[in-house]
Amino acid sequence: MSRQMTGADIVVQALKDQGVDTVFGYPGGAVLPIYDAIFQQNDIRHILVRHEQGATHAAEGYARSTGKPGVVIVTSGPGATNAVTGLTDALMDSIPMIVLSGQVPSFMIGSDAFQEADTVGITRPCTKHNWLVKDTEMLAETIHEAFHVATNGRPGPVLVDIPKDVQFASGNYISPAKADLGHYQPRVKGDKDAITALVELIEKAKKPVFYTGGGVINSGKGASQLLRELVKATNFPITSTLMGLGAYPASGDNWLGMLGMHGTYEANLAMHDCDLMICVGARFDDRITGRIDAFSPKSKKAHIDIDPSSINKVIHVDVPIIGDVGHVLEDLLKIWKSRGRKTKTADVKKWHAQIDQWRAVDCLAFKNSDKIIKPQYALQRLEALTKGMDRYITTEVGQHQMWAAQYLGFEEPNRWMTSGGLGTMGYGLPASVGTQIAHPDSLVINIAGEASWLMNMQEMGTAIQYRAPVKQFILNNERLGMVRQWQELLHGERYSHSWSEALPDFVKLAEAFGGKGIRCTDPADLDDAIMEMLNYDGPVIFDCRVEKHENCFPMIPSGKAHNEMLMGEEDTQGVIDSGGAVLV
Amino acid sequence: MNAVKLKKGASSFSAYDLKNFSGDTEETHTLAVLVDNEAGVLARVIGLFSGRGYNIESLTVAEVDHESNRSRITIVTTGTPSVIEQIKAQLSRMVPVYDVHDLTVEGPSVERELALFKVLGKGDKRLEALRTAEIFRARVVDSTLESFVFELTGTPEKIDAFAEMMQPLGLEEVARTGVAAIARGH
Ligand SMILES: Cc1ncc(C[n+]2csc(CCOP(=O)(O)OP(=O)(O)O)c2C)c(N)n1
Ligand SMILES: [Mg+2]
C-alpha cells in the first residue's frame, strides 16, 4: 500500500512497520516535526534520555538484550556529534542500531547554518553505512534499507540524516515489503567443503578447543543452542571472549571461563597448547591473542565468521568458513553426525585431565579480608545472592568489568551487556536503562566503577522518570583502578592522575535523583546490603567501598604469550629496575 | 606454572604489542571496484584507505553505466600480500560495493593513463622537445611561440619516462589522470 504523508509521518510509519516498539532520543530544532509525529501516536514509546550518548548506549543495551535493533533519534549538530561514541561502540561490538538524525533544511546545507554539522561525514567511519535523504520520496525506502543493513550480515550501526524540509514535505510511503533494499545480501550459508574440512579436523583432534565470541550471540538464540549441542556431543572444552559470555553456560561441564588478557589460566593455556582451535564468531582481537607470533603455535585453526574481512586479518587460519554461525553450526553438526559422530574420545579425555590440572591452580582465588570488602568478594556475593534470578548484567569499563566477567556466571545469551571493542567508560548506566526498558520485570544490575559511572550519571534521571528499577552496583575504589594497575606494574608506580579527589556522596546523589542510596563498607554487612538493594522496588545506587589497591589477575601483559601469565601479586614483586625510570 | 615475573615499573611492557610481525615484501596491485554511484561513495573508499593505513598510488573514478548508476573506481595500491587481501575484503563488505577485481592476479590486463605536459622553451630546446614527443607518440594539443602542451597516453612507466626526458627541456607542469585498467580478452 502506498500513500502520501509528510516525511515526519513516514519516519514514524516506517518504524512501526519495522516492528519498533521503543526509541531512545532527545529533541531539538531539526527533529521537531518527527517529535510532533511521535506525539500523535501511541504505538512507539519514546524514552527521553539526558544526553544523546546515553541514548545510543541505552539502544545498545536494548539491542543486545533483545536481539532486536536499537533505535535512536537525535537532533542535528550537537545531537548528532554526541551520538558518535555510541555509534563507534556499536560498530566495534557489532550491535545493530539505527540512528535517525535531524539535519538543517537541505537548502541551507553547507552554509554553516545554526546547528549544522556534516553528520554523514563525521559518522561515515563509525557506521556500517549512512545516508543523507534529500527527497521525501526516498525516505521510506532509505529507512527500510537502513534496517536491512543494520541487521543483516555482521550487524552494526547505521545513520539516516534527515533535513528538516524533508520531514515537512509530503511523499509516498512504501512498506518494507515493497522497498528496494539494494544489493547488500551477505551470504549466510558456509561452504560445504570447508565445513567438511573442519569436520575432518574435529575427528582427528586430540587437544581441541572452541574459542567463541559475540558472533554466536548475534547469530541468535538458535546458534547458542547449536553450540551447546556441539560441545556436548564432541565433549570439547570451550572458552569465550568477553563479548561471547552466556552463549555456553558458565555452569556447563566443558566451560573454561573467559580467555584473554584477564582470562583464566585454564582457558589461556588450553588456547596455547591446543592442536585444534575452532574460532566461532570471534575475531582474534589483540586483548585475546597476546603476542601474535607466540599465539597457539601448535594448532590447526578454523574460523567461522560472517565477515570475510575478519578472516586472516590478524591470525592466519587453516580452514576459513564464511557464513552465519547458526547456519554453519547446523551444517557442521549434520555433516559430523552423518560421518558417524567421530572424535578421538580417549585423547580428548586425556586433554581434559590436563585442563583439570590447570583448573586446580584456581587462578581466580584471592586473598579475602574481614575488614575491607574485596571487589572479587563483592561480586561473588552478588552472584550467590542473585543466582537463578531473571537477571541482566551491564558493566562500565575497568577492573570491575573484568572482575564481573570472571566472577559472575552467565547461563544464557543476551544477558551480558558490556563495551568490549571500544571500552567505553559511561556505557553501563545507560545500557542498564535500555535493558530495563526492554525487560521491565527483570533484575538489571550495572556493575560499575565510580569513575566510569560518573561519565553518564545524568541517565539516573532517565531511570527515575521511566521507573526503571536499575541497580547501580558501584565497586568504589576511589581510583581509575585499571589505569592505576598499569601505572603500578608498567610505569614505576607513578600514579599520574588516576584517582579522583572529589567524589560525590553516592547515597545523597541517589536521593537527589529520587532513588535509593546504599553504602556498604564492611564485609560483614555486605549480604544484607545487597538484599536491601534487590528488595527495593526502584533505582538504587549501591556505593560498595572496596579495597583501593586491588589488582586484577590473571593478567597477560601485552606482548606476552598465553603461557606467560601473571597470576597474582607474588609475580609482580621486585624492585623497580633502574631502566624503569627511562620510560618509553 | 609458566608465570613471568614482571618487575614493577618494567619499561619493556607496553599496553600494546609494539612489534610488527608483517615481514613480507610489498606488492603493487591494481583493483577495479564497481560501486553504486551515490553521494559520498568515493569519500567512503578513500576513508577506508586512510583510516586503516593502506596506500593509494593512484585512484580514478567515473560513472561507467548510466542506466544502472554504477561507477568504476580503479585503485593502484601497495602492500604485503595479507594487507592486499584485507583491502579486498574490506572493500567487498562495503554496502555500495558490488564487486572487487584484483586485475593483477586475475590474468593479463591493460593499464593506461593519460597525461598533459606543458613545456616552455625556445630554439633548440623547443625542437628537441618536439622530437622527443614524436618518439613517445605524444600529441601536440596546444602550442604558442614559446610553449607546447603534449598529450600522452600509456602505462604509468611510459609517462614517468616522458616526464624525465622533458625535465631538462623546459617542463613546466604535468597533469595526470591516474590509471584506468581492464582485463584482457573476454
Ligand atoms: C571514555 C574513556 N576514557 C578513558 C578510558 C581509559 N580507562 C580505562 S579503564 C579506566 C579507569 C576506570 O575507572 P573506574 O570506572 O573507577 O573502574 P575501576 O578500574 O576502578 O574498576 C580508564 C580511565 C576509557 N576506557 N574510556
Ligand atoms: Mg574505580
Q: Report pLDDT for A581.
A: 28
- As for the ipTM of the complex, it is 0.90
Q: Report pLDDT for A30.
A: 98
- Residue A384: C-alpha distances to residues A378, A407, A509, B132 (Å): 10, 10, 28, 87
Q: Report pLDDT for B186.
A: 79
Q: Report pLDDT for A501.
A: 86
CB-based burial label for B162 (10 Å; 0-12, 13-18, 19+): buried
Q: Report pLDDT for A562.
A: 87
- How do beta strands B97-102 and B27-36 pair? antiparallel
CATH topology of B27-102 equal to that of B109-183?
A: yes
Residue-wise pLDDT for A19-71, tens only, equals 999 999 999 999 999 999 999 999 999 999 999 999 999 999 999 999 999 99
Chain B residue nearest residue A560, CA to CA: B17
Give strand pairing partners of A5. A171
Q: Report pLDDT for B133.
A: 97
Maximum CA extent, chain B: 85
Residue-wise pLDDT for A249-301, tens only, equals 999 999 999 999 999 999 999 999 999 999 999 999 999 998 889 999 999 99
Predicted TM-score of the model (pTM):
0.94
Report yes or no: A199 and A339 within 8 Å, Cβ to Cβ.
yes
Nearest to B8 by CA among A495, A486, A562: A486
CATH assignment of B109-183? 3.30.70.1150
Mutate to test the pocket of ligand 1, among A483, A485, A490, A555 (most ligand atoms within 8 A of CB): A483
Instruction: Say if ligand 1 is within 6 A of residue A149 CB.
Output: no
Burial of A398-418, coded b for 16+ CB within 10 Å and e otherwise, reads bbbbbbbbbbbebebbbbbbb
Question: B11 falls in which pLDDT band (50, 70, 90)?
Answer: very low
Angle (CA) A272-A277-A278 rounded to 5° is 150
Cα(A544) to centroid(ligand 2), Å:
11
- Residue A250: C-alpha distances to residues A208, A323, B60 (Å): 19, 26, 53
Chain B, 10-29: which have a CB under 8 Å from a chain A CB?
A: 10-11, 13-19, 21
Mutate to test the pocket of ligand 1, among A419, A425, A446 (most ligand atoms within 8 A of CB): A425
Q: Report pLDDT for B5.
A: 53
| Residues of A assigned a catalytic role | 52, 114-115, 164, 482
Question: B24 falls in which pLDDT band (50, 70, 90)?
Answer: confident
Give me the residues of chain A with pLDDT under 50, please. 574-584
Q: Report pLDDT for A583.
A: 27
Domain segments of chain B as ranges: 27-102, 109-183
- Taking a 5 Å cut-off on Cβ, the residues next to ion ligand 2 are A 449-451, 477, 479, 481
Q: What are phi and psi of A306, to 5 degrees?
A: -80, -15
Q: Report pLDDT for A500.
A: 85
In sequence order, what are the residues at sequence separation of 6 or more whose Cβ sits closer than 8 angstroms to the Cβ of residue B170?
B119, B120, B121, B125, B126, B129
CA–CA dist B19, A108 (Å, integer): 49
Residue B144 grid cell: 604558442
More confident residue, B19 or A355: A355
Tell me whether the omega of the peptide bond preceding residue A27 falls within 30 degrees of 0, making it cis.
no
CB contact under 8 A, A125 and B98: no
In sequence order, what are the residues at sequence separation of 6 or more whose Cβ sits closer than 8 angstroms to the Cβ of residue A215?
A94, A154, A244, A280, A281, A282, A283, A304, A305, A306, A325
3-state secondary structure of A546: strand
Helices (H) and strands (E) in chain A, counts: 24, 20
Report yes or no: A467 and A444 within 8 Å, Cβ to Cβ.
no
Report yes or no: A542 and A533 within 8 Å, Cβ to Cβ.
yes
CATH assignment of B27-102? 3.30.70.260
